[in-house]
Amino acid sequence: MFKLILWALPWVLRIARWRSPEFRERLTERNMVVQIRTADSSAGRYIVFQDGGIRSGAGIYDNSTVELIFKTAAIGAKLLMPPIDQLEQIDALKNFLVRLEGPDDDGVWFAQTVMAGMSAGWRVGRKMPDGTTRLCTMTNGGPLFVYVREGKIIRTTPIEFDTDDPESWSIEARGKVFTPPRSGALSPHAMNWKSMVYAPNRLQYPMKRVDFDPNGERNVQNRGVSGYERISWDEALDIVSSEIQRMKRDYGTGAIASSNGSHHNWGNIGYYLSAKLRFMNAVGTTEVHHNPDSWEGWYWGALHHWGGSLRVGGGELFGTIEDCLENAEMVVFWSSNPEATGGVYGGQEGTVRRRWLRDLDIELVHIDPYYNDTAQFLGGKWISPRPTTSPALALAIAHVWITEGLYDKEYVEARTKGFDAWRDYILGVEDGVAKSPEWQGSETGVPAKDVRALARKWGSKRTYLAVGGMGNTFGGACRNTNGTQWTRTMVCLMGMQGLGKPGVNVGNLQLGVPLDFSFYFPGYADGGISGDLNNTALATALYQRMPQLPTMNPSTQLIPRLRLPEAIIDGHAEGFLWDARTMEGQFSKIVYPKQGHAKVHMLYRYGTAILGTLNDANRYVAMYRSPNLEFVVNQSIWNEGDVEFSDVILPACTNLEREDIGEWANAGGYGAHFNSQINHRIIAYQAKCIEPVGESRSDYDIFSALACRLGLGSYYTEGMRELDWVKRMFDASDLPKHISWKKFLERGYFVVPSEKPEHRPPTAYRWFAEGRKKDLPEAMPLPGDYTEQFLEGLQTQSGKFEFESSSLKRYAPDDPERPLIVKYTPSWESSNTPGLEGYPLQLMTPHSRYSFHTQGDGKDSFLNDIADHRMLVDDHYYWVLRLNPQDAAARGIKTGDLVKVFNGRGAVLCAALLTERLRAGVAQGYESSAVYEPMGEPGRSVDRGGCLNLLSPRRSQIKNSHSMANGTAMVEVVVWDGDISFERTEPLTDRQAVAAEAVE
Amino acid sequence: MNKWNLIVDVAECTNCSLCTLAVQDEHVGNEFPGYAAEMPKHGHHWIEIERRERGQGTMVDVAYVPTMCQHCDDAPCVAAAQNGGAYKRPDGIVIIDPEKSKGQKQIAEACPYNAVYWNEERDIPQHWLFDAHLLDTGWKEPRCVSVCPTKALRAIKVDDAQMQEMVKVEELESLRPDLVTKPRVHYKNLWRYNSSFIAGTVSVERGGIVDCLEDAQVALKQENKAICTLQSDGYGDFKIDRLEVDSGVYLLEVSAPGYASETREVTLGESVNLGEIRLTSPG
């Protein structure tokens, strides 16, 4: 049998060679002899690849290039005989029953050639009448049809469904029937990809810093200043792989840190939690451990009242769209601007659903210092508190409810714990200060009468609280200095009003679309090809369906991401774990360096630029220029942000230039049921639309090439190309039950059929409000985390909604920053903060509307022409800073003026836009500029790229957390006088801050 | 004969800019012979979204108006063109021929809507051509319409009588009624953009506590003629909208049983928020 299979193999390749010009082309890449044999050479066959041709013979070849060796003929027959059993293959590989010997890259080439032979007949895309081919891709802002002709992208459009796509769901509410459009509603940044793919700052070939010599003078102090020279891929890969080896040889495991942005190009194969994690584990690296980015206040705050650790402190979501439309009389949007960010990844799919609020005349309120995009679209009462003060407003609302009896006393009695303590605090029993509407006025600037009017309406109407960008979590004020206070007050208000009763819940119609979640398709955090059973959901979500060689990072050392500069510059950093499995996960402290582990001397940067997205970003500028970092490699698509602070640059391609597969907004365990933002579950075959631009290569291809240089090539690739992994994931999902591979490749997408209305899950928290066991289709909290019976009660220790938190009582009962009941403490950075007198304006830096993190911005992209995104002044596209006309007049600023926004941490040039949408004293500009453009020496000059995160505080929201407080900062704004210099006055790192305090 | 029309609903536009991005995606880097030459990557806004903020304090609103070639039936650009540089198609669409219009800057200058752009490099006028090149190959609607998430843009192909009926039923207007160019782009809820409002908030003091006053009577008069009467809402707020900009002097009276009335004289320019109007008990 073994011999028969070996005899057949060359024939498979010959047939592919006959059928496919691409395969013929591939065969010309290498000349080699592959010997396949048993370990004792009793059976064997060799294949000769020569000048594009294939020859084969039985027996043993004398001097073969590569040998594929099976322990016995029986094992060989079992492993090679179709259908291939992946688990058997993995087991055989783990037990070294099969080995690949010879140069790694030749071995991988041979294995991938065999795979290419299998796929030679596949046809991708649909031919259109105008001669284009319609392909499909998926982005962070929705799926696209990509029309390609002669290797060039002609146009990109939203997906419009075919008539034979499954029927859409409908919702009946108050006598009306609502059903979504049969197409995908994109985010602006999704309609921008053509300009991003063909951007002038695409990295076209590998580069090396001109004054960097890996064998001599490295000149690390010149990072960010000296230029680059083109080098070959071979040279680049040689430098990077030998630096990896040198780090391990000279310092030990963990001397290499790997760091990526929070989001990458969409796709389950090429993602950072997939291809990149697989490589970093294979090599052994110190993980730069992420903070719960944009969920800060929820994870470190609200969690302790209502649980929800597996949703990073956010709430349940099922059924809330139907319940809101049917039962709610009022919706209070509180720091909730879903129209700006589309939730997260949600395109503008939620817009039509919020439009239905208007159709039903449901009363709306918007609480936000900025008259935001959602308020603009929907209308309603606008209440504008000063940034960071709205916890005081919330307390005053509770005060009205308590003093006027406008809350659900039965619910509070039966379902909650510790209300008396909070009530006493609000009434002033504890500290002699009643938290009344009049009391909050001096903090928030909101008239007491408005607070009373709102509280009375809210207390007497069935009300949805739309809190944060996703309605029950994410963004907005949770990113402020006192984000934990804000989220805590928000959920406590709902605890008083009967969370889960009809029409009383959290949501903004962004999450909770009635889709069929039982259809299996994995999200991006479900492991992908990472092989990582510990740090992704692979073990619980994917491995059983898609076995793969496991990977384990030999280094368990972590660096808290927000302290990466401290780790490098100070050589010491501390933080806390983001371990969402339990409420207590966050109490574990991270200390770097870990005992006995190597300090980090090399940084592998990958993915999107970070200077625009991380707080007090000048710290990173200083880090890159620290002598403690001996080598920095950056693998990136565009030359922007911090790319030019590296020694070697590896050009990666976009996901329009490689194959992948992914579902719109399905983040897997990273954000459970995120795809419930989308009106239909849409899974895309993400086609390779065009060849990679210039010499750029896919991330997987780059990692494979490096792995080959480290002898890890066959381990890393399992002999697979990206396309083969895509097919493997297709087969692992429920897709084959509904659509053939051939049809999927042709159509490019699949719409998951909706469930029948009677099969839809019940409404979030209804079970809790009614005192029943949890009846929602979600395995959270963990079974062992219930207190009494499985499925009985919330994740909290008491199983009740806890106004007074048991988990905080156990961990740090006397922490003044995070007391057991939520209290209002004015922000540690506000107009009253000593030392900040020179910076009287409160700058809000919310998530950007038109771009997504640093994706979409800069790159000379189409977004530059959107006046609310960037403004053209003197031939440069400046980031926009919004100012109230009063503040502008006091400073002599007009719309279109170049203004310097600055504080003791940095200085940024922006174009001013005067607007009444902000209260006086408040400025607004988005965070997440992709462009960092210091006008002089990096760190010591004005940035004209628009990185407003240069101005945000270094400090964590609260000490016992690993959190950013980059939603606001105190700044001054002046008309720019042309001076490009800037001198920092704040300490740069934790150690420097301690030293400065000691001097004082 | 059925002809193309575009309907723009100002109340639905959120400034998401997908329409403008779709135009760039379609035309930057692409040549459509007979229809359009490549669009410059930046600076041309064949669809442009105008912004208007109204009001002050916490009584503000913002309207966005997508503007573009109006595909006028009496098109000044067509009149100004020579040698067929711009022409009207039987389906209502105006085409500026990318070859024949070369050098004819007057075509761009003739447009009173400033919707025709001059391409310096190519020496031609350019505009949003209703995606005629796509409609002619079977596309059902222009791309700006299919990307619009709120259906603020709708394209319909009907005969002119039907369109006139729609104009009446849906209260559609021209972008610039002062121009008699017979545009084929029709605007709905344009008052959100081009009218003014008078707003304020009514409060009372009871026992040392200031509260919003709901259901206060708010009456607006001009030269003793009643313009509008309404009640304040639960926040004491009122907003009298759809007044003409710069429409002169108004008298506003706020009254409620048990309180002395308050009056305000308003010379209306742009929208105005009168702020808090406190009613007090007589004596």
Separation CA A19–CA A812 (nearest Å): 69
| Partner-chain contact B60 A188, CB within 8 Å | no
| Partner-chain contact A868 B15, CB within 8 Å | yes
Q: Between B18, B210, B235, which is nearest A448 by CB?
A: B210
Locus of tokens 């912004």: B51
Using left for φ > 0, alpha for ψ between -120 and 50, and beta otherwise, residue A59 falls in left
Separation CA A901–CA A970 (nearest Å): 10
Cα–Cα distance list, A891 to A896, A924, A951, A975 (Å) = 14, 16, 20, 7
Number of H helices, E strands in chain B: 7, 17
pLDDT for A683 equals 98
| Structure tokens given for A396 | 């005053």
Using left for φ > 0, alpha for ψ between -120 and 50, and beta otherwise, residue B98 falls in alpha
Separation CA A97–CA A71 (nearest Å): 5
Quick one: DSSP state of residue B24? H
Q: What angle do CA A576, A579, A581 make, to 5 degrees?
A: 150
A915 contacts in chain B (CB < 8 Å) = 53
DSSP E strand stretches across B74-215: 86-88, 94-96, 117-119, 124-126, 153-158, 185-188, 195-206, 209-212
Q: Is the pLDDT of residue B117 over 70?
A: yes
Q: Is there a catalytic annotation at residue A524?
A: yes
Locus of tokens 């009468």: A449
- Show which of residues 174-233 on chain A sit within 8 Å of chain B, judged by CB atoms: 183, 185-186, 188, 191-192, 194-195, 198
E strand or H helix that includes residue A138:
strand A133-139
- Show which of residues 379-418 on chain A sit within 8 Å of chain B, judged by CB atoms: 379, 381-384
For B190-199, the pLDDT digits (tens) are 999 999 999 9
| Partner-chain contact A453 B236, CB within 8 Å | yes
Separation CA A348–CA A141 (nearest Å): 8
Q: Which amino acid is at A700?
A: Y
DSSP E strand stretches across A140-250: 142-149, 152-158, 171-173, 176-178, 207-209, 228-230
Q: Is the pLDDT of residue B283 over 70?
A: no
Mean pLDDT by 10 residues, chain A (1000 residues): 89 94 96 96 95 95 95 93 89 93 96 94 94 97 98 98 96 97 98 98 98 97 96 98 98 96 95 97 97 96 98 97 98 98 95 97 98 98 98 98 98 98 97 98 98 98 98 96 98 98 98 96 96 93 95 97 97 96 97 97 93 96 97 98 97 98 95 96 98 98 98 96 98 98 98 95 98 96 96 98 98 97 97 93 98 96 98 97 98 98 98 97 97 97 98 97 97 98 94 86
Nearby residues of A152 by Cβ (< 8 Å), 6 or more positions away: A690, B29
Burial of A892 (0-12, 13-18, 19+ CB in 10 A): exposed
Taken as a whole, chain B contains a residue count of 283
Q: Between A185, A355, A917, which is nearest B62 by CB?
A: A917
Separation CA A679–CA A682 (nearest Å): 9
Q: What distance in Å separates residue B131's CA from the closest CA in chain A? A: 13
Sequence ranges of the domains in chain B = 3-189, 196-279
Using left for φ > 0, alpha for ψ between -120 and 50, and beta otherwise, residue A817 falls in alpha
Do B182 and B257 contact (CB within 8 A), yes or no?
A: no
Q: Between B14, B25, B149, which is nearest A373 by CB?
A: B14
- Return the number of other C-beta atoms located less than 10 Å from residue A621's C-beta: 25
Compute CA A255 distance to the chain's CA centroid, rounded to the nearest angstrom: 26
CATH of B196-279, one of 1.25.40.80, 1.10.8.60, 3.40.1030.10, 2.60.40.10: 2.60.40.10
Quick one: DSSP state of residue A890? H
Nearest Cα residue in chain A from B208: A438
Coil, strand or helix at B83 = coil
Locus of tokens 């796709």: A267
Q: Between B25, B209, B235, which is nearest A191 by CB?
A: B25
Test mutation, A191, A359, A883, chain B, max B CBs within 10 A: A191
Test mutation, A367, A377, A454, A679, chain B, max B CBs within 10 A: A377
Nearby residues of A613 by Cβ (< 8 Å), 6 or more positions away: A261, A262, A853, A854, A927, A928, A949
Asked if the C-beta of A434 comes within 8 angstroms of chain B's C-beta atoms, the answer is no
Locus of tokens 């808090």: B276
Separation CA A922–CA A928 (nearest Å): 19
pLDDT for A609 equals 86
Q: Which amino acid is at A614?
A: L
| Partner-chain contact A157 B150, CB within 8 Å | no
Separation CA A701–CA A279 (nearest Å): 11
Locus of tokens 């399905």: A666
Quick one: DSSP state of residue A668? G
DSSP string, A246-313: HHHHHT-TT-EEEEE-S--SS-TTTSIIIIIHHHHHHH--EEEEPP-TT-HHIIIIIHHHH--GGGTT
- Return the number of other C-beta atoms located less than 10 Å from residue A55's C-beta: 12
Q: Which residues pair with A743 in a beta bridge?
A: none
Catalytic pick among A524, A604, A670, A716: A524
Q: Is there a catalytic annotation at residue A293?
A: yes
Separation CA B108–CA B126 (nearest Å): 8
Q: What distance in Å separates residue A918's CA from the closest CA in chain B? A: 8
3-state secondary structure A928-961: CCCCCCECCCCCCECECCCCHHHCCCCCCCCCCC
- Show which of residues 252-291 on chain A sit within 8 Å of chain B, judged by CB atoms: none
B147 contacts in chain A (CB < 8 Å) = 157-158, 186, 191
B59 contacts in chain A (CB < 8 Å) = 382
pLDDT for A999 equals 81
Q: Which residues pair with B186 in a beta bridge?
A: B7
| Structure tokens given for A503 | 């029409």
pLDDT for A1 equals 82
Between chain A and chain B, the number of residue pairs with CB atoms below 8 A apart is: 127
Using alpha carbons, select from A831, A819, A856, A973 the residue that is nearest to residue A608: A856
Q: Which amino acid is at A219?
A: N
What CATH number was assigned to the domain covering residues B3-189? 3.30.70.20
Mean of pLDDT values over B180-200:
97
- Show which of residues 906-945 on chain A sit within 8 Å of chain B, judged by CB atoms: 915-917
Do B44 and B260 contact (CB within 8 A), yes or no?
A: no
A160 contacts in chain B (CB < 8 Å) = 146
Do A660 and A269 contact (CB within 8 A), yes or no?
A: yes
pLDDT for B252 equals 98
Q: What distance in Å separates residue A667's CA from the closest CA in chain B? A: 23
| Structure tokens given for A698 | 């896919």
| Partner-chain contact A864 B42, CB within 8 Å | yes
pLDDT for A302 equals 98
Asked if the C-beta of A886 comes within 8 angstroms of chain B's C-beta atoms, the answer is no
- Return the number of other C-beta atoms located less than 10 Å from residue A151's C-beta: 8
